[in-house]
Chain A
Amino acid sequence: MIRNTITKSALLATGLMLSVQSLAEPSAEALGYTCAGCHGTNGASTGNAIPSLAGLSEGYLIGAMNAYRDDERSSTIMGRIAKGYTEEQIESMASFFAAQPVHSNINQKYDATKARAGAKLHDKYCSSCHTAGGTDPEDDAGLLSGNSKLFMKYTLADFHDGSRDMPKRMKKKMKKMLKKDPDALGKLVNYYGSGK
């Protein structure tokens, strides 16, 4: 399939406008492949801290990369990486990852009791926006269930302490949830890490 895409874009490039070559525009695959050393082959992460990118929506991926590039989303390394790409390149690599099947990392350790409680919390407070356990790309959000557990922990912590902005509705729901259950975030993290 990848082979076909390469051939197709090569045909388009030669057929439509030869001058495109001089612009040195790497293909979507070439851009996506450079991310794999950290994010896993085709964006399917096998580690428990770096998130998977495979199968996420283009809109979400473009938004995330732009936010990193413009220092609007806190990060360790992604702010430094995202500044290396043009708008077109970000769109191009987003199309590559969006075309991959959603990956669930099911090999992580988790607390089964907490995970069960987390599943209930998710259904009650999160599922109206994050459908199918947060695995449906149509939601235009990051992967929740099956994503790297530590990444989910860091992300929720950042939303909670204000390092990262939350949509109004999410803020309201999180406040309500934590009022009822102060350990809710830990339970959600175990649910998401379980990949169930």
Chain B
Amino acid sequence: MSKQNRRSFIKTVGLGAAAATAATYTPFAIGGATKKVVVIGGGMGGSVAAKYIRMMDKSVEVTLIEANKDYYTCFASNEVLSGERSLDSIKFGYGGLKGHGINVVHDKVTDINARARKVVTAGGHSFAYDRCIVSPGIDFKYDQIEGYDANVANTSIPHAWKAGPQTQMLRNQLKDMRNGGTVAICPPPNPFRCPPGPYERASQIAHYLKAHKPKSKIIILDPKPKFSKMGLFTGGWERHYGYKTDNSMIEWHGTPKGSDDNVLTSIDVKTKTATTGFSEVKADVLNVIPAQKAGKIAFTAGLTNESGWCPVRGDTFESTIHKNIHVIGDSAIQSPLPKSGYAANSEGKVCAAAVVALLNGESAPDPTYVNTCYSVIAPGDGISVAMVYGFKDGKIIKIKGSGGLTPGKFDAKLREREQYYGYSWFKNITHDTFG
């Protein structure tokens, strides 16, 4: 039994003892007067689940607990790095959700009592639920990189993998960098939030450097042998950034299976040096994106398994560990759905429909899911990946024949359209979530 597992085990046993007394006054929804849902986390998954529950059934009381007053989308945040958009343009408040009759509480959840069906916050409040939806996003495995921790990330070497102040810090560092400087990007190992993200990031930074600091270089130290939309990205890098020439602005160094070539082992904060199994790279701007795991509350509440993510049923997203708690978004084990904003949106709606049905004593409806995700390699060069998913024999499956990537052969007309469809996608998915 791993350390983590033992801790969760003790936690669960502890909760059980507390539950014996709590169970007597826990409201019981079916046939009862109240239907209470507590949603933890106001990101892409939690917010849309809260909103759609209210759209489907106004008799359900929904409380959304989120620590921050504003949410910054991870998608499109790479365009803040290139200066194509402002940080404010990816910032969303919770006024829209309040308008749907959702009780939005800005507080930090410290524990979930699964037996007593209660959520406890740092502010000292307690919220009873019939069903709880947990959507805490990701947390980072800082301990895998020597010299790196949350404090370093917040003060000098940002991961910027949760958009917000760190996004602005990275943008400022790029602006302050000399012409001829080196930007090193260290993407995480699988699985992680937004699989094409690190490579769109390299593209957007290259777009900025090409116009403002053309002697500069971007070095990607990747612990993986390949990456999402790889052919489309490298094709775009050839078109725009001299990739595969001696003068390439972007260098990608992958790691063959079983090797540790470009696996980041340590960093030196002062000199911004990244050390991998194979080399040392001294950077002017260093962007370390650490390996990832489920958000903290998922661990505290004992919702994770040995993988560090949360096992769930694919049709309801109810935890297979704790009854009446659903986990959606990046924290859930939802493969073959990716850890993306659109997948979280789709999962949020499937989960909302299941929660409403179960609270009304009905069986959960048959689910359907979509993922669609855009990246912009350079202005006028947008690409996308899409897939339709269904549910069969207890599992989420890709619908055969559907989905796939933008065609590899460059077509200026279609690539420009994909960029603008991507911008419309941004408008509509954020409005669908927070509006």
Contacts and interface: CB of A to CB of B under 8 A. Distances in A.
Given A38-B424, A48-B420, 16 more contacts: A2-B56, A3-B356, A6-B353, A7-B362, A30-B353, A34-B369, A36-B428, A38-B421, A76-B417, A76-B418, A81-B370, A83-B403, A84-B387, A84-B401, A84-B403, A85-B388
Interface string A112-132: 000000000000000000000
A52 to B, nearest CB: 10
Contact of A37 (B345, B356, B357): B345
Query: What's the interface size class on B, roughly?
Result: 35 or more
A82 B429 CA distance: 19
Interface string A33-61: 11111111100011111100000000000
Contact of A38 (B52, B365, B420, B429): B429
Interface in B375-396: 384, 386-388, 390-392
Contacts of B399: 83-85
B92 interface: no
Given A2-B56, A30-B367, A40 B432 contact: yes
Interface in B182-224: none
B346 A37 contact: yes
A89 B366 CA distance: 12
A39 B345 CA distance: 13
B346 A34 contact: yes
Interface of B: 52, 55-58, 342, 345-346, 349-350, 353, 356-357, 360, 362-363, 365-370, 372, 384, 386-388, 390-392, 399, 401-404, 406, 414, 417-418, 420-421, 423-429, 431-432, 435
A30 B56 contact: no
A194 interface: no
B365 A81 contact: no
B368 A38 contact: no
Contacts of B391: 24
Given A3-B58, A80-B402, A25 B388 contact: no
A84 B402 contact: yes
Contacts of B387: 84
A150 interface: yes
B365 A26 contact: yes
B368 A31 contact: yes
Contacts of B350: 30
A150 to B, nearest CB: 5
B372 A37 contact: yes
A148 interface: yes
A50 B368 contact: no
Contacts of B362: 7, 10
Interface in A4-44: 6-7, 10, 21, 23-27, 29-31, 33-41
A130 to B, nearest CB: 23
Contacts of A26: 365-368, 390
Contacts of A154: 417
A76 B406 contact: yes
A40 to B, nearest CB: 4
Contacts of B356: 3, 6
Contacts of B390: 24, 26
Contacts of A10: 357, 362, 365
A90 B334 CA distance: 25
A114 to B, nearest CB: 19
Contacts of A81: 370, 372, 386, 388, 402-403
